Amino acid sequence: MLFHIVGAGPSGLYLAYLLKRSNPAHVVRVFEQNRPDVTFGFGVVLSGRALQFLAEGSADVVERLKGKMQHWSNQHIVHRGQCVVVDGSSYSAIERLTLLHELQNLCSEAGVELNFEHRASGAADLAECDVLIGADGANSAIRDSQMGAFGTRVTDFRNYFAWFGVERSFDAHTLTFKATDGGAFVAHHYRYKPAMSTFVAEVDTETWDRAGMAGMTDDERRTFTERLFAETLGGRPLISNRSIWRRWRLINNDHWHFKNIVLIGDALRTAHPSIGSGTRLAMEDAIALWRAFEAEGPGVAAAFARYERMRKPVRNKLNRSLDICVSHSYHWMIPGVLDDSRRGGPHDQTARIASETAWRRSHRAPDLEAARDRSFLPRHPWTAARPLHQRKRLGP
């Protein structure tokens, strides 16, 4: 069979490798608009459970990647200078470019044809094949050229964010809150190399407007963020790599495949951090599609149907989890954590979302229906209604 995969991100490369490794007779071609040494972003974080899932595709690949990763077992949440420790977790992070290079090498060794600096303007450019896979991310040209057929829907969330890097090591994945007169900011940061970390800054719309960020350039916003989080950054500058401030964008598709075209990863559905790593979800899509072809052989329609049947319940569960986080978390409170005067405002809302995110990441999602009931929350250590001074913490 002839497979064309558009997008040489982690999911596209992993799928290419799995297809070619399992059946060397397959012709697998990957098309990527960028050079092999170019990527946007810094590090990729994966939970221990995520690594177990990815090992179901190839345990050897995961073991190979583990040697390039940073590892830790806690999460930290810093509020008013106090560090609360959420323990019992397992996390690893790897530089995104290192991850891509390792997967590129594996593909080359297996006999996959890698075509870089090849931009596809739409599905028609590469449709002369048995299977065309859109693995080209949230801005997928393959999907966008057939939006009507896929039933594509786009929703913009209210918060703004930007991804940066910083030459500083953090002990664990950390959420750090900073209060200003206009509202609160939160940073998500973790190391992916011994002396390098990802640093994602996020803010709600009201605080964004009150801080005057709408009228700033991206360079001015970076400088503003450096000053705001100067203590957290240890005075080090933030590093930009196409670090554009933008809103979280949710992309959904009613149909996963059309004719001989199928979508995976962010081209299929974007992932908000509250439901886990987008890279992990995309690579799991790749495993599911590979397994479908392993089971159905050359039957493209049957393989597509199996892929959707296997994967859609998982994606739907995550969709419901995201709905809960976005629709309900903005209205929940954490008694005792915030001043009464700020409860219900942007500071409170952002803290509530972040705390629940940490709990979900640590425990890999509670029963979703139970999560709709606020009475569910106090049964779990992080979301219990206790003041910070009664919780496990580090620092002054």
Q: Domain 2-43+60-66+95-154+249-323: give its CATH code.
A: 3.50.50.60
Q: How far are the Cα atoms of 25, 29, 343, 357, 367 from residue 372, in angstroms, in the given order?
A: 50, 45, 20, 15, 9
Q: How many CB atoms lie within 10 A of CB 156?
A: 10
Question: Are 232 and 179 a contacting pair, CB within 8 Å?
Answer: no
* Two structure tokens written together for 136: 């080209």
Question: How do the domains of the chain map onto residue ranges?
Answer: 2-43+60-66+95-154+249-323
304 vs 319: CA distance, rounded Å: 21
97 vs 208: CA distance, rounded Å: 31
CA atoms within 13 A on the CB side of 52: 5
Question: Are 169 and 146 a contacting pair, CB within 8 Å?
Answer: no
234-259 burial string, b = 16+ CB within 10 Å, else e? eeeebeeeebebeebebbebeebbbe
* Two structure tokens written together for 122: 């739409």
Q: How many CB atoms lie within 10 A of CB 368?
A: 14
Question: What pLDDT, on a 0 to 100 scale, did the predictor assign at position 49?
Answer: 86
Question: What pLDDT, on a 0 to 100 scale, did the predictor assign at position 276?
Answer: 62
Q: How far are the Cα atoms of 44, 169, 384 from residue 149, in angstroms, in the given order?
A: 32, 46, 46
* pLDDT block averages, 10 residues each, the chain of length 396: 98 98 98 94 89 92 94 92 88 95 97 97 95 97 97 90 96 93 93 96 94 96 97 97 91 96 96 73 95 97 97 82 58 34 42 49 39 32 33 42
Q: Which residues pair with 313 in a beta bridge?
A: none
Task: Indicate the pTM of the whole model.
Answer: 0.83
Q: Which residues pair with 230 in a beta bridge?
A: none
What backbone torsions phi and psi does residue 286 show, to the nearest 5 degrees?
-60, -45
**In 3-state terms, the chain is what percent helix, strand and coil (to 5)?**
40, 25, 35
CB-count burial class (<10 Å; 0-12, 13-18, 19+) for 173: buried
Question: What pLDDT, on a 0 to 100 scale, did the predictor assign at position 248?
Answer: 84
Question: What pLDDT, on a 0 to 100 scale, did the predictor assign at position 316?
Answer: 81
